[in-house]
Amino acid sequence: MSDARGARVLDAAGELLVAHGYRRVTVADVAERAGVGKGTVYLHWPSKLELFGAVLVREGIAVGREHVAALRADPEHVVLHRTMRDSFLSIMRRPLARALYTGDAALLGALASDTKIGRAVVGDNAAYRPRHLALLHRHGLLADDPAADPTLYYRLAAATLGFFLGDELAGGAELTDRADALAVVVRRAFEPAELPPASALAVVAAEVDALYSGLLDEMGRSLPPHPVQASPEEGP
């Protein structure tokens, strides 16, 4: 399968996933929408689970690439409150990313937890977060040392997750206003009173760029570029 055709299959799968949810979409539906045979899809993704897991991995990579692009355009995006603001807007504007981040069972079913490739999105990101926070603390961008406070990531997650889940609490506020409110919470709760000057942030941004570019490359390698060796799994 060419890269263009593979992208078309993943595009079709993502569109159908958002429109109908995982349980209602079949591989035959995806193949028809992408204009390929069902056997061609199974040649590269041995099951429906792995096909849609690949959709989630590709979505996670896209969100990560947006973050890296923002860092390269302006190193000040490396400070945590701006990173969280950027991530909030990126995730909330992408239906699949939003579903993955919020654990939307109605859309995803058990997709994120039941596939090796889907678990990679969550697992790989979780593995990199302590390194990210340690890097920020080392450069004076984080008030508390994550090595000395094992609850730091829990506190950060608990303080921010409500912004992703609390649509009913937003009272019709614009998405950008909600992102700004999230940035205020992170700035006041987790960063030192004085941040390093803008001139010093380029160094930190380059390190974070390298960290997450490595993660994104690793995630990309989990997407199958070649036909699988096992016989295609029969199924819907």
Question: Stretch 19-26: mean pLDDT, rounded?
Answer: 92
How far apart CA 5 and CA 17 sit, in angstroms, is: 18
Contact 236, 28 (CB under 8 A): yes
What is the structure's pLDDT at 234? 41
CA distances from residue 98 to 18, 35, 49, 93, 103 in whole angstroms, order as listed: 11, 27, 19, 8, 8
The predicted pLDDT at position 101 comes to 79
CA distances from 80 to 63, 92, 206 (A): 16, 18, 15
pLDDT, the chain, mean: 86
What's the whole-number mean pLDDT along residues 169-185? 90
Average pLDDT over residues 52-72: 91
Cβ within 8 Å of residue 97, ≥6 positions away: 59, 60, 62, 63, 90, 91
CATH architecture designation of domain 3-221: Orthogonal Bundle (1.10)
Q: What is the pLDDT of residue 27?
A: 96
Give the model's pLDDT for residue 231. Answer: 39
This model's pTM is above 0.75? yes
SS3 label, residue 95? helix
Mean pLDDT of 216-230: 67
pLDDT given at position 2: 66
Indicate whether 92 pLDDT > 70: yes
Per-residue pLDDT of 93-123, as tens digits, reads 999 888 877 778 778 876 766 655 555 555 5
